[in-house]
Chain A
Amino acid sequence: MTRTLYRGLLWLHPPSFRREFSGEMLWIFEETSPDGVAPLFADGVISLLRQWLLRSGPWKLAAALIGGLLEIVAGGLGGAIFMHTRMQARMVGAPLHRISNPAEAIALQNLVPVMMWVSVGTVLMVVATVAWVRGINRKRLDGLARGVRANPARLAQTGR
């Protein structure tokens, strides 16, 4: 029962980590006496959070997607409110720049928080995308540095 639970906990880890280490972690779990499994569960939960939040890139992609969705929804709402206001202004025959209609004033008041949400969504999306791209670049540079260290002669041959 506890083994199945621990296996489930390992299964929730990011695929790359799971593929590489879950077999060994399960083996360690089996080697541990039944009295000592509680700390392993606590450690497993911390590891799960650490792997997804700190070591894994997809959360950045997810944050960018959420930011993008937020922006689209907020933008759509803003557009709908603006069109509604415009139509009402046409119906009463008032020029667009004059806010004489109370409904129009309320609609414009609603537009301000919507625009704030759009701004927050845009900032969130940009920050997440930049962090994600920087992470990819760092990994690529790390890989290059490892390759150079492993085979410095190759660098000399290529003359770079």
Chain B
Amino acid sequence: MSADPISYLPLSPATLHILLSLAAEDRHGYGIMQEVARQSEGQYKLGPGTLYDNLQKLMNQGLVESAPRRSEDDDPRRRYYRLTPFGRAILSAEIARLDTVVREAKLHLRAHSPESAA
């Protein structure tokens, strides 16, 4: 496994959404699913199988780690997850990559739009 963030790119949609959902705060699995649905305005829904398969992979790669429970009242089955500094670096690199893609796309679309042709 490489420590170079570039070697992890591009991220799959599921990985990107999971990392994004953990960028602001630690969340449990169900919280990640809800946040992903909110971020994508309901267009991308993660099932628990897909979520935990990706979480397992991300934990093995050192991008995500378990976080302590927030309160003792929490259901003991509920585990929290958080981004590691390495995971945050990879997410930043992916956002920078996507930013370049979007800028390029806008330029090309503008150049070939009917308005610019006229």
Contacts and interface: CB of A to CB of B under 8 A. Distances in A.
Nearest to B57: A55
Contacts of B49: 25, 43-44, 46-48, 50
A44 B52 CA distance: 11
Given A47-B52, A142-B1, A27 B30 contact: yes
Contacts of A26: 77
24 contacts: A17-B56, A20-B56, A24-B29, A24-B48, A24-B52, A24-B78, A24-B79, A25-B52, A27-B30, A28-B48, A29-B48, A39-B47, A40-B48, A42-B47, A43-B49, A46-B47, A47-B47, A47-B50, A55-B56, A55-B57, A141-B1, A142-B1, A142-B60, A146-B62
Interface string B1-30: 111000000000000000000000000111
Contact of B1 (A28, A31, A51, A146): A146
Chain B contact residues, majority secondary structure = helix
B48 A23 contact: no
Nearest to A142: B1
A146 to B, nearest CB: 5
Given A23-B77, A25-B48, A142-B60, A149 B3 contact: yes
A interface SS class: helix
Given A24-B28, A39-B47, A51 B79 contact: no
Interface in A123-150: 141-142, 145-146, 148-150
Contacts of A17: 52-53, 56
Interface in B33-64: 33, 45, 47-50, 52-53, 55-57, 60-62
A29 B47 CA distance: 10
A145 to B, nearest CB: 4
A11 interface: no
B75 interface: yes
A21 interface: yes
